[in-house]
């Protein structure tokens, strides 16, 4: 049996219980209130969203700079950084752990990809594995590896207030068109266990056949909520879903000192519960009901058990994206 917190920690937690129990009680109350608020906020945002005239893209290519799975010669990491290339421009979605690990700089260099070629940056949400590492998350600032920095003034679209030194930071407040023929869902909310409120945006693009592509960072607001917003933006069928769905059911990609961090924090469940197979069953039903034909999964926040269930039980063609690989969408 795999524990979310190794039994070696249990005596420490027991000794800390006089302070820990009241703190957890406070956090549980805040979580319950925040979860109710997030549901209402998302309902209001979806119901008030207006259709967008998404341009049809004759060519749409996604290149993975950072993810857990990786091709030979590339570094894997429990973070995300994708390049979305269209005839109208190149968008970098997220920066993984940025300067905190060597993966982004190494993989970009091996691909021959220069940050100077980026036309715009989109940060899906302000978590360390998407905005540049722990220091970046603590400072609410997007950080870059040395030698891999976009041109000064490059547009950077953020779902919540944060600094983006040297870039033209724009706070996204709702669905809107972005450079390169892409669009954003705008921020969607989730109250997470222990880490609190998070705003996350996903990218949307329209294929030449009229089908939609949806690209997520972690999918914290839940795929159900994201697709509800996408349907308000454009009624076309969703052909492809790419990215993270946050299902660390049997284990976490980020493990330190016997703690399965993705199972303990960053979930939308109470601290004693965790993400379950029942949650995954609901998302599989959503994917199948939406008629999604292709699912390009990020393994950075989803365990192998969940990936195998998605392979078996969805009607889509399922593939795990790999750092160093490119995918024509």
Task: Kindly report the CATH number assigned to the domain that includes residue 133.
Answer: 3.60.15.10
pLDDT number for residue 18: 84
Q: Is residue 297 part of a domain?
A: yes
Residue 17: pLDDT band (50, 70, 90) is confident
pLDDT number for residue 3: 78
d(CA 211, CA 292): 10
Q: What is residue 84's three-state secondary structure?
A: strand
Q: Quick one: average pLDDT of 279-301?
A: 97
Q: Is residue 2 part of a domain?
A: no
- Residue 19 reports pLDDT greater than 90: no
Q: Quick one: average pLDDT of 212-229?
A: 97
Please state which of the ranges 69-78, 119-128, 197-206, 261-270 shows the lowest mean pLDDT: 261-270
Q: Work out how many domains the chain is built from and give that number.
A: 1
d(CA 250, CA 60): 34
More reliable by pLDDT, 12 or 20: 20
Closest CA to 247 of 313, 325, 203, 328: 313
pLDDT number for residue 4: 84
d(CA 224, CA 288): 11
Q: Is residue 1 part of a domain?
A: no
Query: Cα 83 from chain centroid?
Result: 14
Q: Residues of the chain with pLDDT > 90: what percent?
A: 81
Domain that holds residue 185: 7-49+56-328
pLDDT number for residue 20: 82
Residue 258: pLDDT band (50, 70, 90) is confident
Q: Quick one: average pLDDT of 4-10?
A: 78
Average pLDDT, the chain: 94
d(CA 84, CA 328): 10
pLDDT number for residue 267: 84
Q: Scanning the structure block, which residue is given the tokens 């592509």? A: 213
pLDDT number for residue 145: 96
Burial of 15 (0-12, 13-18, 19+ CB in 10 A): exposed
Q: Residues of the chain with pLDDT > 70: what percent?
A: 99
H/E element, 61 = strand 61-66
Q: Is residue 295 part of a domain?
A: yes
Q: Is residue 302 part of a domain?
A: yes
- Residue 1 reports pLDDT greater than 60: no
């Amino acid at each position: 049996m795999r524990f979310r917190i190794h039994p070696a920690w249990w005596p420490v937690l027991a000794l800390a219980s006089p302070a820990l129990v009241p703190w957890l009680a406070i956090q549980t109350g805040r979580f319950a209130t925040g979860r109710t608020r997030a549901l209402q906020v998302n309902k209001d945002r979806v119901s008030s969203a207006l259709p967008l005239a998404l341009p049809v893209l004759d060519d749409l290519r996604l290149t993975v700079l950072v993810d857990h799975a990786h091709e030979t010669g590339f570094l894997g990491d429990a973070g995300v950084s994708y390049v979305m290339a269209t005839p109208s421009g190149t968008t970098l979605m997220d920066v993984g752990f940025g300067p905190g690990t060597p993966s982004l700089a190494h993989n970009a260099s091996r691909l021959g990809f220069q940050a100077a070629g980026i036309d715009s940056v989109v940060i899906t949400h302000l978590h360390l594995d998407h905005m540049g590492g722990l220091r970046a998350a603590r400072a609410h600032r997007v950080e870059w590896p040395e030698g891999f920095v976009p041109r000064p003034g490059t547009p950077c679209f953020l779902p919540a207030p944060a600094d983006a030194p040297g870039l033209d930071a724009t706070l996204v407040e709702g669905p809107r068109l972005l450079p390169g023929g892409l669009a954003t869902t705008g921020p969607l909310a989730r109250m997470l266990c222990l880490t609190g409120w998070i705003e996350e945006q996903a990218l949307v693009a329209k294929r030449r056949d009229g089908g939609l592509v949806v690209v997520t960072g972690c999918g914290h607001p839940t795929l159900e909520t994201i697709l509800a917003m996408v349907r308000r933006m454009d009624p076309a069928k969703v052909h492809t879903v790419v990215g993270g769905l946050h299902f660390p059911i049997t284990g976490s990609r980020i493990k330190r000192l016997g703690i399965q961090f993705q199972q303990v924090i960053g979930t939308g469940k109470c601290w004693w519960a965790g993400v379950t197979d029942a949650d995954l069953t609901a998302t599989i039903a959503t994917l199948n009901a939406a008629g999604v034909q292709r699912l390009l999964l990020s393994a950075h926040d989803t365990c192998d058990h969940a990936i195998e269930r998605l392979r078996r039980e969805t009607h889509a063609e399922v593939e795990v994206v790999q750092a160093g690989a490119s995918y024509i969408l």
